[in-house]
C-alpha cells in the first residue's frame, strides 16, 4: 500500500497540506483581528469583541498562515 498522495508525488501532497493550513490560518487570523477591533462582532457574546489583544494575536496568526502559503509555492 502506497503512502503517496493520488498525484503520485509526496512533495505535491506536502504543498497541498501547507497551502490548506496556511489559508485556514490566514482566514482565522483575519477573523480574530476583525473581532478584536469590533468590525466583526460575531457571535455577539464573544469575549474577543473589542479586546485589543486579539488584533495582535490575529495578526500573528495571519502572518504565520501567509508564510505557510508562500512556502507551499516554492
- What would the pLDDT profile of 23-74 be if each residue is shown by its tens digit? 999 999 999 999 999 998 888 888 999 999 999 999 999 999 999 999 999 8
pLDDT of residue 2: 54
* Per-residue cell: 71: 512556502
pLDDT of residue 5: 54
Q: pTM of the prediction?
A: 0.82
Say whether pLDDT at 8 is over 80: no
46: phi > 0 → left, psi -120 to 50 → alpha, else beta; which? Answer: beta
Q: What does the alpha-carbon distance between residue 20 and residue 26 come to, in Å, rounded to a whole number? A: 10
Q: What does the alpha-carbon distance between residue 27 and residue 62 come to, in Å, rounded to a whole number? A: 7
**Mean pLDDT of all residues in 12-29:** 96
pLDDT of residue 65: 98
* Per-residue cell: 39: 468590525
Amino acid at each position: 500500500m502506497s503512502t503517496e498522495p493520488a498525484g503520485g508525488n509526496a512533495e505535491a501532497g506536502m504543498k497541498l497540506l501547507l497551502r490548506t493550513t496556511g489559508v485556514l490560518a490566514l482566514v482565522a487570523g483575519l477573523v480574530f483581528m476583525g473581532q478584536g477591533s469590533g468590525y466583526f462582532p460575531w457571535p455577539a457574546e464573544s469575549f474577543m469583541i473589542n479586546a485589543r489583544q486579539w488584533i495582535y494575536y490575529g495578526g500573528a496568526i495571519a502572518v504565520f498562515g501567509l508564510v505557510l502559503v508562500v512556502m507551499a509555492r516554492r
